[in-house]
Amino acid sequence: MKENQKRLLYFFLVVAAIGAFAYIAFIGIGNKHRGTAENIRLGLDLVGGVSITYEADETPTSTQMDDTVNKMQKRAENFSTESDVYKEGDNRVTIDMPGVTNANEALEAMGKAGKLEFRDEEGNVLLDGSDIAGATATTQADQTTGLNQHIVKLEFNEEGTQKFAEATQKNLNKIIYIVYDEEVVSAPTVQAAITDGNAIIEGMENSEKASELASTIRIGALPVSLHEITSQVKGAKLGLEALNTSLYAGLIGFVLIILFMLIVYRVPGFAASIALVFYIAAEVVILNFLDVTLTLPGIAGIILSIGMAVDANVIIFTRIKEELATGKTVESAIKIGFDKAVSAIVDGNVTTLIAAVVLYVKGSGTVKGFATTLAIGIILSMFTAFVVTKVVLNALYMFGFKDVKFYGIKREKKTFDYIGKTKITYAVSILVIGLGIAMLFVNKSQIGNVLNYGLDFKGGTTTQVTFDNKIKASDKKAEIEKLFADISGDTVELSEIQDANALSVKTVELDLTKREKVAKELEDKFGVKEDSIETGSVSGTVSAEMRQDAIVSVIIAVICMLIYIWFRFKDILFGAGAVFALIHDVLVVLTVYAVTRISVGNTFIACMLTIVGYSINATIVIYDRIRENKREMKRDETLKDVVNKSITQTFTRSINSSLTTFITIFILAIFGVDAIRQFAIPLIAGIIAGCWSSVCIAGTLWYWMKTKFGKNPNVR
């Protein structure tokens, strides 16, 4: 098959794939329309509901925790059929109940211990869960048929043995009902008096039914005592608003990126736009088929990864322009451009993927959702760049777009002396970071903490109260503050949420009784319904863990990236330079948190690690060019010339890549809800800082270290 025929075939395969993904994303597969965007599982922050995490008072066994999960799952399904209960670590269990409106009732019911009772036919309680020592599903041979039958073996403790002996003696040939949370789970007939503390329940349909009954009996006798450590209540109305505004922001960002790519890169930009459509449709389908729960930070991760997906194309197209400038044909420039861009794209995306993995491992809840969508986006973006964009671009060339004017030629720029300007560039960075350090002391004296720690890092209870249009939130500040102060018995922090006609109130940790009292007072005095009240409660233990995780996560990510860069570039100084640039970016973002006093919470970890992953991407592109130019050094060139030339050659790419990502996050900051805005603003600062450090610090710092500590300080 001729080369052009292969390209044409690949093009139609890509078009078919885009069509298939688009069809699945909007129409779906089968009667249930599986794969469609509307069938993606949405998190509590988007559909509303209740989430609560319990911790065992003592160290439980694995079996006890599994039984606890089963118990909580059964109970949660009474409130929401889509409830999800899962273990966190060895001694914690989290319950997510989407769509629940009677939040306080659900929280109260989930907090109760399960009640297991053995009752006679008149309803008298004969035994309870405290009398059970164990329950096991197994098989034994039927005495009549000789065939194996599924049974449940019961074992009673000393007191239970005596009670059960008396119960079976009094109820021969009668039914003893086994009742869990007022529901009959089994009704065996007593065939003989049982005095040895061991009983068998026969007649089970299959092994699943036997295991289920055994688990129910065990959890009714569960010795694990639980206490609440975190809880969240999200209103459905507020979640829907957050979803709509985030999607609207994403659409605007998507359109602006396509316009940018078409204007700057012409025909390659058109190919990238088609690849971006494929990328979005494929991501929707993948999220659905992997059953990923999409959260608000998860949407931010998708929108961020859209900007990052364009980055790979920018690197490729910049290379193509450079090859055309040397006199290569368009066909040859396309091939060489893709080949030369591979190492920078792979290395940059792998380091960002490292950050996503660390986020997933160390994060929880919505942070895991962000990490998942970011990781999927990174992997998918490399596929779209290397396969989809390449196939479409080659097809466009075949269809007649063969003139250089459709692609553009990179004009040779005068090499800028970045190394000679380090005193200025370093001074700018030091001044910004110095401002941040100064603000830490100012904040400590004014608000009691170096940063405005949110609920996740400080502990306590946060309540967001949204008023209807008849009442202005700003007019009710004093009354709301007094209401919460009276109920909490302590001072409160109150702030107005812009554009939401809502107030946010931070208090000491409130138990369920006090939270119920708050809800009743708000409805009685201000007409605020329960679905307009969002609460979050975090214990001091968990908040301390989150603060520690934030530091540990960044350290782990940085170390992993250092090792990877060292391995890939065969030079520890490249890794050291990248790490110093990352520390710079983290400190700049910290400065933004300190100056703006944006709440520092769970998404703080996601923000920092995203900046670390994203910033190093641009640094690696520059290092990749330094490595390439160093191999091709001319006799009259020095190492200083190579570094300055490399930064100059990649400058346009650094700006354009940062700009495309900046566009998406900036739109989020404008149109997103307050929670997204508090995540987007530091990200914007990080994108700018990352571009600055990559261009002005990473390369020049490597040069300084190379000349000071390298094996050959006098290297040309």
Phi, psi of 70 (to 5 degrees): -60, -45
Model confidence at 716, pLDDT cuts 50, 70, 90, reads very low
At which residue do the structure tokens 């209960």 appear?
Answer: 85
Query: CB of 360 within 8 A of CB of 368?
Result: yes
Rounded CA gap, 360 and 188, in Å? 47
- Domain containing residue 523: CATH number: 3.30.70.1440
pLDDT at 111: 67
Token pair belonging to 615: 């910033």
Rounded CA gap, 434 and 673, in Å? 31
* pLDDT of residue 546 exceeding 80: no
Three-state DSSP class for 31?
A: coil
Taking only the tens place, the pLDDT of each residue in 560-588 is 888 888 888 888 899 899 889 989 999 99
pLDDT at 24: 67
Q: For the chain, how many structural domains are there in total? A: 5
Rounded CA gap, 119 and 178, in Å? 7
Rounded CA gap, 205 and 369, in Å? 39
User: Is residue 657 in some structural domain?
Assistant: yes
- Taking alpha carbons only, the member of 128, 118, 217, 215 closest to residue 168 is 118
In DSSP notation, 233-252 reads EE-HHHHHHHHHHHHHHHHH
Indicate whether 254 and 191 sit together in one domain. Answer: no
- Domain containing residue 85: CATH number: 3.30.70.3400
User: Is residue 122 in some structural domain?
Assistant: yes
Count of C-beta atoms within a 10 Å radius of residue 593? 25
Indicate whether 602 and 677 sit together in one domain. Answer: yes
Indicate whether 187 and 155 sit together in one domain. Answer: yes
pLDDT at 118: 93
pLDDT at 495: 80
pLDDT at 27: 66
pTM of the model: 0.73
Model confidence at 221, pLDDT cuts 50, 70, 90, reads low
Query: Which residue range forms the structural domain that includes residue 484?
Result: 460-538
Rounded CA gap, 704 and 652, in Å? 24
Query: CB of 160 within 8 A of CB of 197?
Result: yes
Phi, psi of 464 (to 5 degrees): -105, 120
| Residue that terminates a domain, selected from 173, 207, 233 | 233
What is the average pLDDT across 395-424? 88
pLDDT higher at 237 or 509: 509
Indicate whether 75 and 125 sit together in one domain. Answer: no
Query: CB of 450 within 8 A of CB of 444?
Result: yes
User: Is residue 444 in some structural domain?
Assistant: no
- Taking alpha carbons only, the member of 491, 692, 447, 460 closest to residue 593 is 447
Least confident of 137-146, 151-160, 322-331: 137-146
What is the β-pairing status of strands 493-497 and 533-538? unpaired
- Domain containing residue 168: CATH number: 3.30.1360.200
pLDDT at 713: 45
* pLDDT of residue 97 exceeding 70: yes
Indicate whether 168 and 81 sit together in one domain. Answer: no
19 CA to centre of own chain:
29
- DSSP H or E run through 119: strand 116-119
What is the average pLDDT across 376-392? 89
Rounded CA gap, 611 and 32, in Å? 39
pLDDT at 166: 94
- Domain containing residue 329: CATH number: 1.20.1640.10
Indicate whether 124 and 106 sit together in one domain. Answer: no
Percent of the chain residues topping a pLDDT of 70 = 92
Indicate whether 62 and 131 sit together in one domain. Answer: no
Token pair belonging to 610: 């995203």
What is the average pLDDT across 492-508? 81
* pLDDT of residue 182 exceeding 50: yes
What is the β-pairing status of strands 533-538 and 460-466? antiparallel
What is the average pLDDT across 608-629? 84
Rounded CA gap, 115 and 127, in Å? 11
What is the average pLDDT across 342-354? 85
Indicate whether 286 and 176 sit together in one domain. Answer: no
Rounded CA gap, 34 and 46, in Å? 20
Nearest 5°: the CA angle 450, 438, 584 is 90
Specify burial of residue 490 (Cβ count, 10 A radius: 0-12, 13-18, 19+). Answer: exposed
| Residue that terminates a domain, selected from 181, 208, 233 | 233
Indicate whether 259 and 179 sit together in one domain. Answer: no
pLDDT at 587: 94
- Taking alpha carbons only, the member of 348, 268, 350, 258 closest to residue 307 is 258
- Taking alpha carbons only, the member of 643, 614, 648, 612 closest to residue 629 is 643
Query: CB of 47 within 8 A of CB of 99?
Result: yes
Q: Give the ranges where 290-389 is alpha helix by DSSP (H).
A: 296-325, 330-362, 366-383
Query: CB of 590 within 8 A of CB of 437?
Result: no
User: Is residue 3 in some structural domain?
Assistant: no
Rounded CA gap, 287 and 299, in Å? 11
What are the distances in angstroms from CA 500 to CA 241, 298, 503? Answer: 10, 22, 9
Rounded CA gap, 659 and 47, in Å? 32
How many residues are listed for the chain in this entry?
716
Enumerate helices (H) and strands (E) in the chain, giving the number of each: 21, 15
User: Is residue 583 in some structural domain?
Assistant: no
What is the average pLDDT across 457-475? 82
Indicate whether 392 and 290 sit together in one domain. Answer: yes
Percent of the chain residues topping a pLDDT of 90 = 23
Taking only the tens place, the pLDDT of each residue in 223-260 is 577 788 888 877 666 666 777 777 788 788 888 889 99
Helix, strand, coil shares, percent, the chain, to 5: 65, 15, 20
Taking only the tens place, the pLDDT of each residue in 190-216 is 999 999 999 999 888 888 888 888 878
pLDDT at 29: 62
Query: CB of 626 within 8 A of CB of 699?
Result: yes
- DSSP H or E run through 221: none
Phi, psi of 470 (to 5 degrees): -75, -20
Query: CB of 616 within 8 A of CB of 344?
Result: no
- Side by side, which strands form the sheet with 198-204? 132-141, 148-156, 198-204
DSSP letter, residue 188: P
What is the average pLDDT across 150-169? 92
241 CA to centre of own chain:
20
Phi, psi of 141 (to 5 degrees): -75, 130
Query: CB of 206 within 8 A of CB of 507?
Result: no
Model confidence at 714, pLDDT cuts 50, 70, 90, reads very low
Model confidence at 362, pLDDT cuts 50, 70, 90, reads confident
What is the average pLDDT across 674-699? 89
Model confidence at 401, pLDDT cuts 50, 70, 90, reads confident
Count of C-beta atoms within a 10 Å radius of residue 677? 17
Indicate whether 522 and 469 sit together in one domain. Answer: yes
What are the distances in angstroms from CA 369 to CA 88, 239, 248? Answer: 15, 16, 20
| Residue that terminates a domain, selected from 172, 202, 233 | 233
Rounded CA gap, 346 and 336, in Å? 16
Which residues contact residue 485 at a Cβ distance below 8 angstroms, ignoring those fewer than 6 apart?
491, 492
Model confidence at 632, pLDDT cuts 50, 70, 90, reads confident
At which residue do the structure tokens 């710079």 appear?
Answer: 584
What are the distances in angstroms from CA 612 to CA 309, 356, 372? Answer: 17, 10, 17
Specify burial of residue 120 (Cβ count, 10 A radius: 0-12, 13-18, 19+). Answer: middle
User: Is residue 492 in some structural domain?
Assistant: yes
Calculate Rg over the CA atoms of the chain.
Answer: 31
User: Is residue 161 in some structural domain?
Assistant: yes
Three-state DSSP class for 413?
A: coil
User: Is residue 207 in some structural domain?
Assistant: yes
Query: CB of 229 within 8 A of CB of 539?
Result: yes
- Taking alpha carbons only, the member of 366, 363, 357, 261 closest to residue 306 is 261
Indicate whether 282 and 368 sit together in one domain. Answer: yes
